[in-house]
Amino acid sequence: MASEVYHKLGDNNKSLSFARNAFELDSINGRKPKMAMRLSQMASALAGLKRYNESEATYLRAISLLKEVGNLHSVGIDLNQLGFVYLEQKRNREAVQCFTEASEIFSKIGDLYNNVYSHKGIYESYWSINPDSAKIALDRFNTLKDSLYHQASADALARYNAEFGKDRLQEEIQRTKTARSRDLIMAIGLFIVIAIIAAVIIRARYRRHRSQMLQLIKKVEELQAKCNEAEKNMAETPKEGIEIPETLADKTDDGQEFLTKLFVVVDAALTNKDYGVAKIASMMNMTERTFSRRLKEVTQQSPKMFISAIQMERCAKLLLENPNKTIGEIANLCGFEEASGFSHAFKRVYGCSPTSYREQAKQ
């Protein structure tokens, strides 16, 4: 080991000394495999010292002993090294023989790395003695070199996967978390958008309901005014005079009598806090179905909407006509159990609280 270290450091004298001492010890103990390796180390040190003749002789001894112990891989390596020693001595043909024999060994055992060096040596050996053979050897060298590169890349990738597989797993986990976070953000964003759209729709419906209710309240006020005017005229008209045929009276009624009675009935029902459609129909001496049909004919409105309009008209009227009454008292007169329910219903129609409505009317 020390001999190889010093050889790589360029101190071939120390390398040679350590290799010789180790060879003598291995010789005493009869360890031929070790002896062969020490001879190889000695030959490499001698070549580094440019003592090529001694290096050649030592390589030949090492190769012979390595073949004896069956270490073909080291035989091939020493043949390559001996081939380069021959090249330094311009003994190209002998170098070709060494490199060719080494290539055969490496091809047999599948050592691509050292086989590349064998073909490099063959190419360099042929360069000055046979250019055609040199070209063939160069092509083969380049092919093997490319194969070596791809194999090295595959090995490097395998090592990379082994070393960094955990990091890739962490990256995959992080990507998954990021994707989930993105999906969650998108879901929240979608929920917010849906909530905004729902709020807009609800608000639009609220405004439409409010507008319809205000229009209906105005219509109720007009109808009540007409009914009151009609009652006043009837009261002032003398009973003596021309009789109007019953059939003609029915035609000129135009639902006025129906509405007059309805306003009275609803006012009473609100006071009693029992103003459902069924109850109003009963108080009108009609079935619920007949009442609904008749109201639709006269007002083009559903019973529930029309009754609510009457209620809200009464609320606004009592608030202004009775400034000394509390909101709770007005709520009770308009059919509400609690002032909070009254305030909510009133604000939904008029857009302000009952108190604000009163204050605005004073201004």
* Domain assignments of the chain as residue spans, ordered by start: 2-163, 253-362
pLDDT at 105: 92
pLDDT at 180: 84
Non-local (6+) Cβ contacts of 235 within 8 A are: none
pLDDT at 135: 83
- CATH number listed for the domain at residues 253-362: 1.10.10.60
Domain 2-163 and domain 253-362 have a common topology: no
Determine the Cα–Cα distance for residues 112 and 151; give it in Å rounded to an integer.
9
pLDDT digits (tens, 9 = 90+) for 104-124: 998 898 888 888 888 888 988
pLDDT at 254: 57
| Rg of the chain on CA atoms, in Å | 57
Q: How many CB atoms are located within 10 Å of the residue 148 CB? A: 14
Determine the Cα–Cα distance for residues 363 and 77; give it in Å rounded to an integer.
114
- Give the residues of the chain that fall short of pLDDT 50: 156-157, 160, 163-166, 239-252
Q: Note every long-range contact of 115-119, with CB atoms under 8 Å and residues 24 or more positions apart, other chains counting.
A: 115/144, 116/141, 116/144, 116/145, 116/148, 117/80, 118/76, 118/79, 118/80, 118/83, 119/144
CATH architecture of 2-163: Alpha Horseshoe (1.25)
pLDDT at 237: 57
Tokens linked to 199: 């709020």
pLDDT at 315: 92
